[in-house]
């Protein structure tokens, strides 16, 4: 089975590997898995490494991050005793202790055993303000598609005649106890080309889904449509959004009469409504304010046509907006300055006047801070996580305006003696300064170094304490490097948009500049420099393989995109056209053909050894990308290993045992390739 030249620019002899569950394809995958297992998992020390990594993944003194719902703090927890996990809750008083008394609501291991299903947790929405009923989402094998069941928290049981939906990429949310907004697969025409809901309905308890009231319908070419209810007392509202693509959407207020009233912000802006406030982050200059700023409007005045923003944040060349969270009376704003976090509290005026501003927390250099939870309904409580490359995470709780307390602290998980983290800047091909951080023993002789990057979807790589990487790489003498290349969100929308579509090579030039800078500084040498990345970062790995193989000694790509002429036809791929371009558009096809790693593989080039990993149950990035690239590399005589988990979804694993095994494969490959 081959693909026509209209789709690939030539025949594709490996199209049969896109048949996810095809018998021939799975037999081929099993052969590759056996080769990889024999090559990497059979040597001395592999099982010990898996056990060592499993130990930190299962550690009982990890921070159980929570979400407040009324008087309880809720948490989902996986560990040695509960590999699939338990959904549980406790009180703040108990949570402060070293060994809280947790009330288990749902045991996924027991549920999976009772039903004979490979269930993994995909989240729960609890109905405010009573917090008695929940919409629980469960995924088979870790995929994005879920089944939905209503759950009674008081009875600890699924509601027999409650809201239930079969497996699909469903979007569902509470309106009240008897109604939900739902978008799901209910027959031909109900899903977009990207595989997400095209229609949204108001569904009443006890009635068939087909009888649910239509609310809005998008086009098949849209990404998705969605609706949600804001139950905030005194500000109850319904909203509908049509996502035309990954970066453009239309948001509407749904009136009591069922009419849609457009919220007139730019299609590419991010916006949200909290009580009387509308917050907008434009991705391009708007109302005299630069892209990436944070603007506030009184919502009713904005609907009436007032367009005078209150400017809450203005970016500069070094600083970008990273996020914001409401408490009842305050707004917590997170920013990045050269990829390090800053946190401020902004207090809106109760009448005419300006917003007040103060720093929330003193954050160490090269560290990350993030608000993990607030309760915007009833108080000004916040939970704040602090971490860094060599700084074990801590969790702080406070009330805005009062002192905070360190409520949880993770102990050191690996030996960091002699290690430090330092930030440098490389100069890209067009003169752009690209930040990167080196974690290791500075001043040592050039040694094994692992470089990672992402460079897409306005996602920033920030400092984090990676216990697995720490044990498997840093503590064994390796150096770890994180590059903040263009395409990501390290410097806001401008950084992202500078590597969109035909400009994607700028991200690759940035990554190559960091690799060269590492060698120039004496950190490593090309034969001892490995690189790793996943998803869009896996595409980055493929690009490095075909663009500049001489810079690297080993390449690892996890759940990668690699066929950029067919990505839009595989699973959720059509949703990324706004990021990469459309292979069916003559204006986009040339640059996609130029950057598509699968189509640029050649015989005779000195490619470094390659490890590709994927998952049969990844219903986001098709496993065919990794399969076909591995087959083509083998055909051309290059060194490549493929490991495909049968479950795991886009994460590649559903439990800690699989995560530890996958990580042990990666690091064993890297150490054997780059040297001890």
Map tokens 């037999």 to a residue. 27
Which token pair is 472?
A: 């498997």
What's the CA gap between 469 and 22, in Å, rounded? Answer: 35
Q: Kindly state the DSSP code that residue 578 receives in the 8-state scheme.
A: H
Query: Position of tokens 């034969």?
Result: 527
241's enclosing H/E stretch is: strand 237-243
Half-sphere exposure of 29 (CA within 13 A, CB side): 26
CA distance 621 to 567: 8
Say whether 82 is catalytic. Answer: no
Catalytic residue flag (residue 650):
yes
Q: Which of 535, 575, 615, 663 is catalytic?
A: 535
* Terminal-to-terminal C-alpha distance of the chain: 43
Measured distance CA(507)–CA(95) in Å, rounded? 43
Q: Which of 232, 191, 205 is nearest to 378 (CA)?
A: 232
As a whole number of angstroms, the distance between CA 636 and CA 469 comes to 32
Residues 34 and 391 sit within 8 Å (Cβ to Cβ): no
Asked if 489 and 572 count as a contact pair (C-beta separation under 8 A), the reply is: no
Which candidate in 186, 274, 622, 650 is catalytic?
A: 650
Do 558 and 532 meet the contact criterion of CB atoms below 8 Å apart?
yes
The whole-angstrom separation of Cα 201 and Cα 217 is 9
Nearest to 622 by CA among 561, 574, 564, 565: 561
Question: Residue 390: which of 470, 483, 294 has the closest Cα?
Answer: 470
- Give the number of other CB atoms < 10 A from CB of residue 354: 9
Closest among 179, 231, 230 to 200, alpha carbons compared: 179
Asked if 426 and 513 touch (Cβ cutoff 8 Å), the reply is yes
User: What is the length of the chain?
Assistant: 676
CB 203 within 8 A of CB 177: no
Max CA distance (Å), the chain: 72
Nearest one of 664, 675, 488 to 54, comparing CA atoms = 664
CB-based contact 85:77 (threshold 8 Å): yes
Helices (H), 59-163: 92-95, 108-115
Instruction: Judge whether 91 and 69 are in contact, CB under 8 Å.
Output: no
Rounded CA separation 104/125 (Å): 17
β-pairing verdict for 237-243 and 249-254:
antiparallel
Residue 309: burial class (beta carbons within 10 Å; 0-12, 13-18, 19+)? buried
Residue 78 near residue 88 (C-beta atoms within 8 A): no
Nearest to 662 by CA among 634, 643, 636, 640: 643
Tokens coding 636: 């051309």
Dihedral, CA of residue 470, residue 474, residue 478 and residue 480, to nearest 10? 60
Active site residues: 535, 650
């Amino acid at each position: 089975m081959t693909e026509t030249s209209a789709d690939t620019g030539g025949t594709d002899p490996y199209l049969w590997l896109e048949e996810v569950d095809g018998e021939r394809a799975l037999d081929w995958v099993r052969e590759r898995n056996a080769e990889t297992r024999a090559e990497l998992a059979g040597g001395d020390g592999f099982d010990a490494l898996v056990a060592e990594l499993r130990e930190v993944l299962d550690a009982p003194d990890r921070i159980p991050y929570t979400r407040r719902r009324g008087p309880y703090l809720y948490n989902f927890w996986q560990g040695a005793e509960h590999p699939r996990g338990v959904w549980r809750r406790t009180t703040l008083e108990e949570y402060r202790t070293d060994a809280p008394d947790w009330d288990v609501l749902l045991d996924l291991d027991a549920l999976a055993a009772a039903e004979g299903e490979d269930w993994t947790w995909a989240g729960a929405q609890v109905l405010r303000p009573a917090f008695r009923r929940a919409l629980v989402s469960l995924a088979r094998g870790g995929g994005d598609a879920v089944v939905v069941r209503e759950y009674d928290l008081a009875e600890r049981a699924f509601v027999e005649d409650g809201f239930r939906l079969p497996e699909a990429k469903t979007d569902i949310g509470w309106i009240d106890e008897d109604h939900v907004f739902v978008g799901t697969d209910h027959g031909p025409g109900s899903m977009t080309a990207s595989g997400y809901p095209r229609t949204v309905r108001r569904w009443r308890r006890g009635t068939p889904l087909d009888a649910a009231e239509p609310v809005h319908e998008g086009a098949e070419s849209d990404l998705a449509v969605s609706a949600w209810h804001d139950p905030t007392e005194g500000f109850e509202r319904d909203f509908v959004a049509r996502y035309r693509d990954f970066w453009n959407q239309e948001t509407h207020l749904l009136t009591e009469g069922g009419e849609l009233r457009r919220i007139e912000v730019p299609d590419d802006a991010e916006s949200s409504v909290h009580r009387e406030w509308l917050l907008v982050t434009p991705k391009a200059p708007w109302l005299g304010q630069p892209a990436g700023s944070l603007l506030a409007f009184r919502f009713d005045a904005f609907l009436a046509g007032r367009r005078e923003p209150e400017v809450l944040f203005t970016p500069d060349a070094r600083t970008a907006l990273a996020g914001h969270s409401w408490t009842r009376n305050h707004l917590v704003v997170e920013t990045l300055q050269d990829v390090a976090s800053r946190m401020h509290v902004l207090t809106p005026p109760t009448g005419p006047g300006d917003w007040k501003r103060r720093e929330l927390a003193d954050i160490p250099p090269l560290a990350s801070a993030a608000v993990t939870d607030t309760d915007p309904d009833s108080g000004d409580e916040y939970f704040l996580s602090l971490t860094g490359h060599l700084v074990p995470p801590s969790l702080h709780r406070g009330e805005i305006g009062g002192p905070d307390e360190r409520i949880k602290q993770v102990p050191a998980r690996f030996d960091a003696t002699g290690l430090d983290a330092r930030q440098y800047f490389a100069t890209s091909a067009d003169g752009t300064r690209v930040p990167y951080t080196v974690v290791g023993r500075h001043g040592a002789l050039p040694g094994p170094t692992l470089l990672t990057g992402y460079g897409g979807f306005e996602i920033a790589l920030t400092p984090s304490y990676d216990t697995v990487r720490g044990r498997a790489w840093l503590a064994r003498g390796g150096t770890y490097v994180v590059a903040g290349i263009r395409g990501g969100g390290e410097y806001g929308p401008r950084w992202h948009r500078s590597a969109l579509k035909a400009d994607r090579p700028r991200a690759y030039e940035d990554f190559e500049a960091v690799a060269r800078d590492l060698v120039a500084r004496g950190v490593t040498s090309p034969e001892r420099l490995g690189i790793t990345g996943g998803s869009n970062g896996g595409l980055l790995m493929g690009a490095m393989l075909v663009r500049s193989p001489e810079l690297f000694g080993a390449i690892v790509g996890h759940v990668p995109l690699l066929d950029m002429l067919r990505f839009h036809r595989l699973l959720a791929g059509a949703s990324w056209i706004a990021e990469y371009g459309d292979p069916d558009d003559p204006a986009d096809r040339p640059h996609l053909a130029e950057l598509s790693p699968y189509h640029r593989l050649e015989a005779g080039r000195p490619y470094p050894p390659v490890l590709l990993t994927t998952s049969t149950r990844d219903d986001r990035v098709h496993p065919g990308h990794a399969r076909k690239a591995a087959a083509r590399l083998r055909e051309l005589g290059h060194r490549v290993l493929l490991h495909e988990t049968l479950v795991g979804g886009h994460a590649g694993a559903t439990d800690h045992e699989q995560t530890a095994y996958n990580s042990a494969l990666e690091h064993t490959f890297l150490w054997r390739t780059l040297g001890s």
